[in-house]
């Protein structure tokens, strides 16, 4: 099964940029990399998805190096409301793509 | 703003009782997922359907869990008989799959199940 590895937790302060890196050494050619955010008592919510290089939307940026064995979610100028658990998924179809890891618990302090 | 809906939001039941959870996927989505989340195990995939056909239910305890899609607007997850270890939050998610590529999954609010 494709496995992702992320830091268990991270701390930051309001206004700072936060970068969360995920390693996925077994990524396959057809796999996409997707990040989700989950707040307490809610279901995960899509943040961003990419295949290679860089993707940016209104919420975050996703950096993927050429070998695609890792990816970095970048949250610019975090606020208290960004405190959540962030999951990295490798999605290429099938069960192996639908395994959420333990996620990274981000705590943003004032 | 299309959303996945789940009912009930909360369920408390006694061991041995049947539990049925329902999910209405977003209209137009062809893939439906059932997940279970606990503190100890995190988010686990139980089963998923594509175009109403079950593709994988290997994550479910077969003797007590069953998942179906009677039609494109309804997915159900049943537990019979329920056990205390089934206590968890059960999420349904839907998405669109085309050419083998799974698009974004949209999650419902979850059903919080407590089995006494």
**pLDDT tens-digit map of B59-83:** 888 899 999 999 999 999 999 999 9
A91 close to A34: Cβ distance less than 8 angstroms:
yes
Size of interface A-B (CB pairs under 8 A): 56
Contact B43 A100 (CB under 8 A): yes
Closest CA to A99 of A8, A6, A1: A1
Q: Which two tokens stand for residue B101?
A: 């590529």
**In the predicted structure, residue A95 carries a pLDDT above the cut 60:** no
For residue B60, the distance in angstroms to the closest alpha carbon of chain A comes to: 13
Over residues A23-34, the mean pLDDT reads: 87
| Token pair 């050494």: residue | A25
pLDDT score at B96:
86
Contact B102 A93 (CB under 8 A): yes
What is the tens place of the pLDDT at every residue in B18-64?
A: 999 999 999 999 999 999 999 888 888 899 899 999 888 888 888 99
pLDDT score at A2:
56
Over residues B88-98, the mean pLDDT reads: 92
Provide, as residue numbers in chain A, all residues whose Cβ is less than 8 Å from the Cβ of B34: none
Whether the ω angle into residue B81 lies within 30 degrees of 0, i.e. cis, is yes
Q: Which two tokens stand for residue B96?
A: 């669109």
Query: Using CB atoms, which residue from A42, A92, A102 is nearest to B42?
Result: A102
Task: Please tell me what DSSP assigns to residue A79.
Answer: -
Over residues A94-110, the mean pLDDT reads: 79
Over residues A39-51, the mean pLDDT reads: 93
Q: Which of B24, B49, B101 to mutate to test the interface with A (most CBs of A within 10 A)?
A: B101
Write the DSSP assignment of chain B as a string of letters: ----EEE-SEEEE-TT--EEEEEEPPTT--EEEEEEEETTTEEEEEEEEETTEEEE-TTS-TTTEEEEEEETTEEEEEESS--GGG-EEEEEEEE-EETTEE---EE---EEEEE-
Q: Which two tokens stand for residue A53?
A: 């290089």
- Alpha-carbon torsion, ordered B71, B77, B81, B83, to 10 deg: -170
Identify the band that residue B100 occupies on the pLDDT scale cut at 50, 70 and 90.
low
Tell me the C-alpha distance between A87 and A22, whole Å. 9
């Amino acid at each position: 099964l494709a496995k992702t590895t992320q830091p268990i937790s991270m701390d930051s302060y309001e206004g700072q940029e936060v970068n969360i890196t995920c390693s996925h050494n077994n990524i396959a050619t057809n796999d996409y990399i997707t990040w989700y955010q989950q707040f307490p008592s809610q279901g995960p919510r899509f943040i961003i998805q990419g295949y290679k290089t860089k993707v940016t939307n209104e919420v975050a940026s996703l950096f993927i190096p050429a070998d695609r064995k890792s990816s970095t979610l970048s949250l610019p100028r975090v606020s208290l409301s960004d405190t959540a658990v962030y999951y990295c998924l490798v999605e290429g179809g099938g069960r192996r793509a639908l395994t959420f890891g333990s996620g990274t618990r981000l705590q943003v302090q004032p | 703003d299309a959303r996945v809906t789940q009912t009930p939001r909360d369920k408390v039941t006694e061991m041995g009782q049947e539990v049925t959870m329902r999910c209405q996927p977003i209209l137009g989505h062809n893939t439906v997922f059932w997940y279970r989340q606990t503190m100890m195990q995190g988010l686990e995939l139980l089963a998923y359907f594509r175009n109403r056909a079950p593709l994988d239910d290997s994550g479910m305890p077969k003797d007590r869990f069953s998942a179906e899609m009677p039609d494109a607007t309804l997915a159900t997850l049943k537990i019979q008989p329920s056990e205390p270890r089934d206590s968890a939050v059960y999420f349904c998610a839907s998405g669109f799959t085309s050419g083998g590529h799974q698009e974004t999954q949209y999650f419902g609010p979850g059903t919080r199940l407590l089995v006494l």
